[in-house]
Chain A
């Protein structure tokens, strides 16, 4: 990985406001850095910024360049820096960094949060930042005492000179350290000496969230701010034809009505007046071809497409010949619906477009992307947009939108109205307005030889590309294949000599987006369900079949065997219950789940999920467990309830009564086991999700003999 990483190109220290030590690191792509080797020449480009601030009172503030959307980065990233700093954890806090080029992800070259990559990508830079700061504090103390640096050690925010029994706190040293030269390439700790990394560590953001003090974008208030609610096209791709706002303007509190890119915005003194004003608008839309769209028609179209091979995404051996020559073949088809992210905090943003610059407050997984889009909407340069990052009341990919929809709407409203505007989507707007996990259809076939060994595997996928037409296309689409459509299906770990995955990319006006674990949401369900079919077909225990096919894949086997052992696989399940398992690798992390289920009056009940995770060296074990617990609930919601359906171009779901979420009485017990590892740390926000649905459906198959091939699960599909 280091070969593709950006290298540290510039490092600057200055006395921070308040007299603290401020370390600014600048990360540039290697190629660009080599074009401009002269750091002094490049210095003019750099805005001062910091990963860490140490105040004279000893408080350490870590700047978090990633979105805190519940996955715990504000704690895990702080831990990485604090470990190398030898900080006193009780004195460590964090701030959400604004958008800025100095905070771009060193691998993705943008300030984005996605792909469960935050810890993996930031571990190096943040540990280096901490180690460098520590070295400077040691140098400052040694200089003051007139002793060699090598005689000094650090412990919990203190530099100690043991031979003379002297010590000074980091806070006292901050000002002196700030004027010292910055050492280069400070060595990092031996992991055996870690005191913080790998220990269960309470989240730094918990108290504020418990007491209602955490600031989300919807909590931002600006002087003179109006609240905007927007009327958008009821169908995908519709355009505004005309509108009559006389009734809307008559609603008390409504101040302005403006046409913006996505529709008609009603601006009022508060949300309620804005929403009533929006409801009073009479809007005519040019609906266009989207008005005839229906998911039932799409499902049939996809099913037909799946009967023919698509563009080859991945191939080993010769799957077609092996299938033709197989002693037995097994074929199955699977359907998965459009899904909404339904973040608990409805989409919103605050924008303040002024003559001297624009400010935006938003919960964003795409800070620099949204900053650039805000600049375009405001008519200025990105560096003239101050983009304040707030907490996100859920992200799941929805707040990482290449079109920056909700941010652009806020900026357009503020620009048109000349006042600060808080743009708010209602829950209905959220469910109707896109963007969705695509609808998928898969057809999968396997060939078996006379002994029952799997000799052929062909997986045909039909669905929309998430990234076509976005700036991500050059990175994700190669030879017409969107890697996010086939991830988790290609590079099958199972030892099957002839295998092929092919793809039909469909063109549908429904707007789509990454949804927590992206392509793996459908591929893991299909692959792991079908593998269970094959186990049944060959009379093999599902665990045993996977063990055989994964004999050369130690990390797959590691989680599989751990989850199976902890779940008591092989021992009888409690009366009326059955177990199922699934294993999957996504975003460089391996997860296996064993689900234990029963039926209560024909309705599935998931009692327990036993999970095993290999995400390399664990930063915060409790954080990893929390993410897997949450992923189980998130995956169950999709399996049991979630479908966005469309008829006459209109999304049929509108709120949580018809787009149901799992509730507390439906939540299983979750037991999470971590594989001990010294491999590089990888992500955990998403990888727990993909194996949930297949593990549960495999358990239901063991219980009922009925295979779920269409999501969300319909209890009637479990009946005889």
Chain B
């Protein structure tokens, strides 16, 4: 039976097993490949999306759990926080291999959405669920501070 979803502001119907993790519905049914598979166990954060504004690991979230909720992926991340973050990410030249970076940005967007002037401890608390095997952490931290500055939240 098709499930009705709202992804990036669009209503879509997908015909999948209700237990299928949201990640695979996004990537395979909807072609939104900016959300990445890293572990399948909510350990690495590469699959992070927003569900009703909260950061969620889509690799362990059954698609049935997001029916009726707003799902946002990197492809649909818009607004001042998104603009500040993506610009800062580019200015700091954060990515190396790049696989984890969209998940990093999705987590950082939730942080800056609630705290425009995060300190290092806030960044640690919000970003520790996102692994970067290339260890771009120095620049992730700098980019979040830079984005905070763009949003007028610099300390």
Do the beta carbons of A343 and B96 come within 8 Å of each other?
no
Is A476 close to B, CB under 8 A? Answer: no
Is A394 close to B, CB under 8 A? Answer: yes
Which residue of A is nearest B141, CB measured?
A: A664
Could you say which of B74, B90, B98 contacts A391, with CB atoms under 8 Å apart? B98
- Whole-angstrom CA separation of A634 from B141 in the bound complex: 17
Is B84 close to A, CB under 8 A? Answer: no
CB distance from A243 to the nearest CB of B (A): 23
Do the beta carbons of A345 and B86 come within 8 Å of each other?
no
- Whole-angstrom CA separation of A715 from B16 in the bound complex: 47
Do the beta carbons of A394 and B101 come within 8 Å of each other?
no
CB distance from A215 to the nearest CB of B (A): 8
Could you say which of A216, A221, A427, A630 contacts B134, with CB atoms under 8 Å apart? A630
Residues of B near A70 (CB, < 8 A) are: 95-98, 134
The listed residue with most A CB atoms (<10 A of its CB), out of B17, B73, B93, is B93
Known A211-B74, A212-B102: A664·B140 in contact at CB below 8 Å: yes
CB distance from A253 to the nearest CB of B (A): 7
Known A210-B105, A272-B20, A664-B123: A221·B31 in contact at CB below 8 Å: yes
Could you say which of B19, B86, B93, B135 contacts A630, with CB atoms under 8 Å apart? B135
- Whole-angstrom CA separation of A663 from B136 in the bound complex: 10
CB distance from A642 to the nearest CB of B (A): 11
Residues of B near A345 (CB, < 8 A) are: 36-38, 97, 99
Do the beta carbons of A202 and B41 come within 8 Å of each other?
no
Could you say which of B19, B34, B90, B133 contacts A344, with CB atoms under 8 Å apart? B133
CB-CB contacts below 8 Å: B129-152 with A: 129-141
Do the beta carbons of A71 and B96 come within 8 Å of each other?
yes
Could you say which of B95, B100, B140 contacts A206, with CB atoms under 8 Å apart? B95
Is A637 close to B, CB under 8 A? Answer: yes
Residues of A near B37 (CB, < 8 A) are: 218, 271, 345-346, 424
Known A202-B90, A212-B102, A392-B97: A630·B136 in contact at CB below 8 Å: yes
CB distance from B150 to the nearest CB of A (A): 15
Could you say which of A203, A205, A343, A664 contacts B128, with CB atoms under 8 Å apart? A664
Is A626 close to B, CB under 8 A? Answer: yes
Among A405-413, A487-495, A654-662, A695-703, the one that faces the other chain is A654-662
CB-CB contacts below 8 Å: B39-82 with A: 39-41, 43-44, 46, 73-75
CB distance from B85 to the nearest CB of A (A): 9
Is A535 close to B, CB under 8 A? Answer: no
CB distance from A631 to the nearest CB of B (A): 8
Do the beta carbons of A202 and B93 come within 8 Å of each other?
yes
CB distance from B96 to the nearest CB of A (A): 3
Is A629 close to B, CB under 8 A? Answer: yes
Residues of B near A630 (CB, < 8 A) are: 96, 134-136
Could you say which of B28, B44, B75 contacts A212, with CB atoms under 8 Å apart? B75
Residues of B near A344 (CB, < 8 A) are: 36, 38, 44, 46, 97, 99-100, 131-134
Do the beta carbons of A209 and B101 come within 8 Å of each other?
yes
Known A212-B75, A219-B33, A664-B128: A669·B138 in contact at CB below 8 Å: yes
- Whole-angstrom CA separation of A208 from B19 in the bound complex: 31
Residues of A near B39 (CB, < 8 A) are: 427, 655-656
Could you say which of B41, B43, B135 contacts A629, with CB atoms under 8 Å apart? B135
Do the beta carbons of B139 and A629 come within 8 Å of each other?
yes
Known A344-B133, A393-B97: A657·B24 in contact at CB below 8 Å: no
Do the beta carbons of A664 and B134 come within 8 Å of each other?
no
Known A346-B37, A346-B38, A427-B38: A203·B135 in contact at CB below 8 Å: no
In the complex, which range does the number of interface residues on chain A fall in?
35 or more
Residues of A near B139 (CB, < 8 A) are: 626, 629
CB-CB contacts below 8 Å: A586-640 with B: 622, 626-627, 629-634, 636-637
Do the beta carbons of A667 and B135 come within 8 Å of each other?
yes
Do the beta carbons of A664 and B43 come within 8 Å of each other?
no
Is A572 close to B, CB under 8 A? Answer: no
- Whole-angstrom CA separation of A252 from B18 in the bound complex: 12
**Contact digits for A343-372, partner B, Cβ 8 Å, 1 yes 0 no:** 111100000000000000000000000000
Do the beta carbons of A272 and B21 come within 8 Å of each other?
yes
Which residue of B is nearest A657, CB measured?
A: B43
Residues of A near B135 (CB, < 8 A) are: 629-634, 636-637, 662, 667
**Contact digits for A569-594, partner B, Cβ 8 Å, 1 yes 0 no:** 00000000000000000000000000
- Whole-angstrom CA separation of A152 from B19 in the bound complex: 68
Do the beta carbons of B96 and A270 come within 8 Å of each other?
no
CB-CB contacts below 8 Å: B102-128 with A: 102, 105, 123-124, 127-128
- Whole-angstrom CA separation of A219 from B28 in the bound complex: 9
Do the beta carbons of A656 and B43 come within 8 Å of each other?
yes
Residues of B near A215 (CB, < 8 A) are: 33
Is A670 close to B, CB under 8 A? Answer: yes
Do the beta carbons of A667 and B138 come within 8 Å of each other?
yes
Do the beta carbons of A664 and B124 come within 8 Å of each other?
yes
Residues of B near A622 (CB, < 8 A) are: 93
Residues of B near A272 (CB, < 8 A) are: 16-17, 19-21, 24
Which residue of B is nearest A670, CB measured?
A: B138
Is A247 close to B, CB under 8 A? Answer: no
Residues of A near B93 (CB, < 8 A) are: 202-203, 206, 622, 626
Do the beta carbons of A273 and B97 come within 8 Å of each other?
no
**Contact digits for A203-230, partner B, Cβ 8 Å, 1 yes 0 no:** 1011111111111101101000001000
- Whole-angstrom CA separation of A216 from B38 in the bound complex: 13
- Whole-angstrom CA separation of A272 from B100 in the bound complex: 21
CB distance from A608 to the nearest CB of B (A): 11
Is B94 close to A, CB under 8 A? Answer: yes
- Whole-angstrom CA separation of A218 from B128 in the bound complex: 25
Is A510 close to B, CB under 8 A? Answer: no
Do the beta carbons of B97 and A69 come within 8 Å of each other?
yes
- Whole-angstrom CA separation of A39 from B64 in the bound complex: 64
CB distance from B17 to the nearest CB of A (A): 6
Do the beta carbons of A391 and B97 come within 8 Å of each other?
yes
Residues of A near B94 (CB, < 8 A) are: 206, 210
CB-CB contacts below 8 Å: A214-270 with B: 214-216, 218-219, 221, 227, 252-253, 270
Residues of A near B101 (CB, < 8 A) are: 209-210
Do the beta carbons of B38 and A657 come within 8 Å of each other?
no
Residues of A near B141 (CB, < 8 A) are: 664, 667
Do the beta carbons of B89 and A270 come within 8 Å of each other?
no
Is A694 close to B, CB under 8 A? Answer: no
Residues of A near B28 (CB, < 8 A) are: 227, 270-271
Which residue of A is nearest B31, CB measured?
A: A221
Do the beta carbons of B96 and A427 come within 8 Å of each other?
no
Could you say which of B20, B41, B99, B134 contacts A655, with CB atoms under 8 Å apart? B41
- Which 5 residue pairs across A and B have the least CB separation, nearest first? A212-B34, A633-B135, A393-B99, A70-B96, A209-B98
Q: A70-B96, A342-B133, A626-B93 are in contact. List 18 more A-B contacts (CB 8 A).
A: A202-B90, A203-B93, A205-B98, A207-B90, A210-B90, A212-B102, A213-B34, A216-B98, A270-B28, A272-B17, A394-B134, A427-B39, A427-B43, A627-B96, A629-B139, A664-B123, A664-B124, A665-B124
Sample (28) of A-B pairs whose CB atoms are under 8 Å apart:
A70-B97, A71-B96, A206-B95, A207-B90, A210-B86, A210-B94, A212-B33, A219-B33, A253-B17, A271-B24, A272-B16, A272-B20, A344-B46, A345-B37, A391-B98, A392-B97, A393-B36, A393-B98, A630-B134, A634-B133, A655-B43, A656-B43, A656-B131, A657-B43, A661-B133, A663-B137, A665-B128, A667-B135
